[in-house]
């Protein structure tokens, strides 16, 4: 049953429903209409649909950009650039991060890193570690207005200008943005090394096979043509109409959507160590595409593998088995033997990854059809953005963010929430114990990522999974606002949200203008705090259950304390 690309297991209770769905897809001419870009597959009105279907042609369109991207990468190497720092969020940063972590840089090519945090501590680490004369900053934003990306750009442009001279700063910056954006105009005015256009009809999370994904790959020295050919090969498979079960994208999208309708809406990815970063990209694609209109599929990536008995009945597993990497094979086999439903994908090498990007883009689009939603918009992301703007406006007027009344405090922690609590510890435990079958827990860390913090956050996630029996996801803000943030506010309201903020060990001003560091409206600390409070308010307005824990001391120590209390 199903595409020969997958080994499915324990799907017997659902086979008739999946077969029926595939027959319905054939009767509806779903694949033909999708490739013809028929917006009525999803909605009666063409709002942000037909102008977002360029991803279908992405691998073909990429052929025309290969030469330019590779020549640009060669020119940058010849300039003596040894470090590329990509400033971007969501769809502009997640695929480059996968390429960097899976493949790394080829000999003679610069290293590449992604900065998508507005925490001042994270910005400082890069400020203090870069050799500016050998660094290229890639400013990546489809809209050219993303507040995080533009704030980071203005900070580093000023930094380079002060260190190397104003007239030399532009040569250390490159923009990837859609034609006609404010970022394009700024780049031309400030003399950027280059401005590489995106494709307006390709949305951010579907943009792997465009300059947003492939130019960073070229900078790493990857064989970009091989990536494109992998995408083209998968696109051809995803055109298959007869029999529909042989179309991997149609089959996968139908399967995950129909199972979600049966309550198996926690799509759990089991990834080998070398492919762990793929989880972040999959998380954004699935969550932001399907989590809206009171429906959604929750992607769960990065969980510590557990005994099959610790997983609830709302799970569907997707396991990746990579030849030569046995780190997850035993877990996939244990899930299979336990009787839980799932599928396994076998990859012969990391090079096979290219096709997986297109496969999941197709699956997300097909799932949107069955869920009766538009998989190409993100209506609930706007709420957090507007609230952040309101918080910053309040700061500009009063010199502080809006005050809040704490529920409890002690031992370096302060608790904020929606209902009074008898004490700090009881308030935390009582909140966690609101968990109901079918819910999930979300840990939202508006903190500067570092290895100690990531370890503490993962340990807390494990503890909460044991305590509640639920899927637990964890994300750093503001990154998750551009991925799972849509689902958090757009799904059926099954989330239990823990938000974490902290005092800042330093402040760094965000310049008002890229070429002028003398004026500043706010700092990075104010920005990340405004984003946290903005999302807190958006979640509350959407009727979600949420508390905020503020750390006055080292966040990793605070998370360890919470872990002790909730264990």
Average pLDDT over residues 277-289: 98
pLDDT of residue 161: 96
Residue with tokens 């995080």: 148
Average pLDDT over residues 146-165: 97
pLDDT of residue 350: 80
| C-beta separation of 446 from 531 below 8 A | yes
Q: How confident is the model at residue 349 (pLDDT cuts 50, 70, 90)?
A: confident
What pLDDT, in 10s, does the model give residues 384-406? 999 999 999 999 999 999 999 99
Query: For residues 349 and 135, what is the distance between their CA atoms, to the nearest angstrom?
Result: 31
The sign of the torsion formed by the CA atoms of 481, 487, 493, 496 equals negative
pLDDT of residue 467: 96
pLDDT of residue 553: 85
Residue with tokens 């839980």: 340
What pLDDT, in 10s, does the model give residues 33-80? 999 999 999 999 999 999 999 999 999 999 999 999 999 999 999 999
Number of neighbouring beta carbons within 10 Å of residue 407:
19
Kindly state the tokens that stand for 303: 């969980």
Q: At what angle do helices 224-237 and 211-219 cross, to 10 degrees?
A: 140
Kindly state the tokens that stand for 7: 């080994």
Whether 516 shows a pLDDT value over 90: the answer reads no
CA-to-CA separations, 515 to 154, 168, 396, 512, 524, in angstroms, rounded:
7, 12, 21, 9, 18
CA-to-CA separations, 279 to 267, 287, 299, 360, 396, in angstroms, rounded:
11, 12, 9, 12, 38
The three state secondary structure string of 29-91 is: CHHHHHHCCCHHHCCCCCCCCHHHCHHHHHHHHHHCCHHHHHHHHHHHHHCCCCEEEEECCHH
CA-to-CA separations, 482 to 205, 227, 380, 510, in angstroms, rounded:
9, 25, 10, 21
Average pLDDT over residues 445-470: 96
Query: For residues 309 and 26, what is the distance between their CA atoms, to the nearest angstrom?
Result: 38
Average pLDDT over residues 232-255: 95
Q: How confident is the model at residue 519 (pLDDT cuts 50, 70, 90)?
A: confident
Q: How confident is the model at residue 1 (pLDDT cuts 50, 70, 90)?
A: very low
Q: How confident is the model at residue 2 (pLDDT cuts 50, 70, 90)?
A: very low
pLDDT of residue 116: 97
Max Cα distance, the chain (Å): 68
Residue with tokens 């899930």: 335
The three state secondary structure string of 321-373 is: EECCECCCHHHHHHHHHHCCCEEEEEECCHHHHHHHHHHHHHHHHHHHHHHCC
Query: For residues 109 and 216, what is the distance between their CA atoms, to the nearest angstrom?
Result: 11
Average pLDDT over residues 111-137: 97
Whether 3 shows a pLDDT value over 70: the answer reads no
Q: How confident is the model at residue 84 (pLDDT cuts 50, 70, 90)?
A: very high
Domains, the chain, in order of start with CATH, read 6-17+238-371 (3.40.50.10490), 57-228 (3.40.50.10490), 381-566 (3.40.50.10490)
For residue 467, report the phi and psi dihedrals to the nearest 5 degrees. -70, -40
First-residue to last-residue Cα distance in the chain: 42
Of the chain, the percentage scoring pLDDT greater than 70 comes to 99
User: Could you tell me which of 138, 115, 130 has the C-alpha nearest to residue 69?
Assistant: 138
Ranges of H-type helices in 399-515: 424-432, 451-468, 484-490
What pLDDT, in 10s, does the model give residues 401-444? 999 999 999 999 999 999 999 999 999 999 999 999 999 999 99
What is the torsion angle, in degrees rounded to the nearest 10, for the CA atoms of residue 479, residue 379, residue 57 and residue 42? 140
Whether 308 shows a pLDDT value over 60: the answer reads yes
Q: What is the pLDDT of the chain when averaged over all its residues?
A: 96
pLDDT of residue 388: 96
pLDDT of residue 4: 56
Strand pairing partners for 519? none
Number of neighbouring beta carbons within 10 Å of residue 293:
15
| C-beta separation of 415 from 407 below 8 A | yes
Residue 305 vs residue 256, higher pLDDT: 256
Query: For residues 383 and 486, what is the distance between their CA atoms, to the nearest angstrom?
Result: 10
Whether 114 shows a pLDDT value over 70: the answer reads yes
């Amino acid at each position: 049953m199903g595409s020969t690309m997958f080994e499915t297991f324990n799907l017997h209770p659902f086979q008739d429903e999946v077969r029926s769905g595939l027959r319905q897809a054939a009767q509806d001419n779903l694949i033909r209409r999708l490739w013809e870009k028929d917006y009525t597959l999803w909605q009666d009105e063409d709002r942000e649909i037909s102008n977002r279907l360029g991803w279908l042609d992405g691998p073909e369109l990429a052929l025309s950009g290969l030469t330019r991207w590779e020549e640009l990468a060669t020119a940058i190497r010849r300039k003596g650039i040894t470090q590329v720092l990509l400033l971007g969020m969501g769809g502009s940063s997640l695929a480059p991060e996968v390429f960097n972590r899976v493949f790394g840089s080829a000999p003679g090519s610069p290293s590449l890193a992604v900065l998508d945090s507005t925490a001042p501590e994270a910005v400082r680490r890069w400020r203090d570690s870069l050799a500016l004369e050998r660094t290229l900053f890639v400013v990546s934003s489809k809209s050219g207005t993303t507040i995080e990306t533009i704030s980071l750009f203005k900070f580093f442009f000023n930094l380079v200008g002060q260190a190397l001279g104003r007239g030399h700063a532009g040569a250390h910056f490159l923009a990837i943005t859609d034609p006609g954006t404010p970022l394009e105009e700024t780049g031309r005015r400030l003399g950027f090394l280059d401005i590489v256009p995106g494709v307006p009809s390709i949305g951010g999370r579907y943009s792997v096979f465009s300059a947003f994904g492939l130019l960073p790959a070229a900078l790493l020295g990857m064989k970009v043509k091989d990536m494109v050919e992998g995408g083209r090969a998968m696109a051809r498979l995803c055109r298959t109409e007869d029999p529909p079960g042989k179309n991997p994208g149609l089959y996968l999208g139908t399967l995950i959507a129909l199972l979600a309708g049966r309550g198996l809406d926690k799509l759990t990815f089991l990834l080998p160590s070398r492919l762990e970063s793929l989880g972040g990209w999959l998380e954004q694609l699935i969550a932001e595409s399907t989590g809206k209109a009171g429906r959604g599929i929750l992607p769960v990536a990065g969980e510590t593998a557990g005994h099959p008995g610790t997983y609830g009945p709302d799970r569907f597993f997707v396991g990746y088995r990579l030849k030569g990497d046995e780190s997850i094979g035993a877990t996939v086999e244990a899930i299979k033997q336990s009787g839980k439903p799932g599928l396994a994908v076998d990859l012969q090498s990391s090079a096979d990854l290219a096709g997986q990007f297109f496969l999941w883009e197709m699956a997300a689009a097909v799932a949107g059809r069955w869920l009766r939603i538009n998989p190409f918009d993100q209506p609930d992301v706007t709420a957090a953005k507007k609230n952040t703007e309101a918080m910053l406006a309040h700061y500009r007027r009063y010199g502080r963010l809006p005050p809040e009344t704490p529920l409890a405090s002690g031992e370096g922690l302060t608790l904020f929430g929606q209902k009074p609590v008898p004490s700090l510890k009881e308030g935390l435990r009582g909140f966690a114990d609101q968990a109901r079958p079918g819910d999930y827990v979300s840990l939202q860390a508006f903190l500067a990522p570092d290895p100690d913090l990531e370890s503490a956050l993962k340990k807390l996630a494990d503890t909460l999974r044991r305590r509640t029996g639920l899927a637990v996801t964890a994300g750093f803000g503001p990154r998750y606002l551009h991925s799972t943030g849509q689902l958090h506010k757009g799904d059926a309201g099954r989330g239990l949200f823990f938000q974490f903020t902290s005092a800042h060990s330093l402040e760094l001003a965000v310049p008002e203008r890229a070429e002028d560091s003398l004026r500043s409206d706010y700092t990075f600390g104010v920005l990340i705090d405004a984003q946290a409070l903005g999302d807190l308010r958006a979640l509350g307005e959407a009727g979600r259950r949420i508390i905020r824990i503020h750390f006055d001391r080292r966040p990793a120590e605070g998370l360890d304390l919470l872990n002790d209390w909730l264990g």
